Amino acid sequence: MNESCFLLKIAKEKKQKGFTLIEMLVSLGLFSLVMSIALGIFVGGSNYQRKTIELFLVQREGGYLMETLSRELRMASDLPENDYTNGDVQKLQKDDFLEFKDSGGTDRKYCRSDIDGVCDATGDYFAINNKRISSDDVIVENLIFYVNNFDTQLQRFVTVSLSLRSKGKFQSKIDLQTSVSLRIYEN
């Protein structure tokens, strides 16, 4: 009897010193679950960061294009007359390009263009005088100019509507619009 008690005592000590197969599987499963959740959070955060960077690039490009155009338009010395003759002061001329004379009297033409800068209403780029000024990372989806046809006693202005989209994985998109008053008055 002494010998069997001794064997039971040894078996209990051995049992307390190790892990069973079930305990190992449970702990491995919990570890895998925690690591999967952590990896998912990391990948999601990384994707969010890349999407934010793409959106920042599109916003920066849009700001540059609108500021370039606005600065030149404010200082324009001549804007061609609209074709409307009905006297409607609220009528706007809508076009996918804009031609005017800058402060030095040089002809300027803003438009959507192909990769070479040639004006193309379906082009993916923004051009001035057949020179592309937008980057390769951004696509111009829409560019419309509205020129007012006010009577000769009011200051003229141009409204520019621009839609840009990134070429990256997330296709970040922004729509911009601004109205620019010209510093020239009709007499």
**Residue 14 lies inside a defined structural domain of this protein:** no
**Residue 31 lies inside a defined structural domain of this protein:** no
Q: Please classify residue 127 by burial: count the beta carbons closer than 10 Å to its beta carbon, then call 0-12 exposed, 13-18 middle and 19+ buried.
A: buried
Total of domains in the chain: 1
Q: How far apart are CA 154 and CA 184, in angstroms?
A: 10
Q: How far apart are CA 98 and CA 116, in angstroms?
A: 18
Which residue has tokens 């619009």? 177
Kindly report the CA angle at 179 between 175 and 185, in degrees rounded to 5? 160
For residue range 123-156, what is the model confidence (pLDDT) as tens digits?
Answer: 999 999 999 999 999 999 999 988 876 555 667 7
Judge if pTM exceeds 0.85.
no
**Residue 162 lies inside a defined structural domain of this protein:** yes
What is the extent of the structural domain holding 68?
A: 48-181
Residue 111 in contact with residue 98, Cβ under 8 Å?
yes
For residue range 97-113, what is the model confidence (pLDDT) as tens digits?
Answer: 888 888 888 899 999 99
**Residue 56 lies inside a defined structural domain of this protein:** yes
**pLDDT for 1:** 55
**pLDDT for 121:** 87
Kindly report the CA angle at 55 between 48 and 115, in degrees rounded to 5? 130
Task: Enter the tokens of residue 75.
Answer: 């200082």
For residue range 48-76, what is the model confidence (pLDDT) as tens digits?
Answer: 999 999 999 999 999 999 999 999 988 88
Bridge partners of residue 78, in order along the sequence: 101
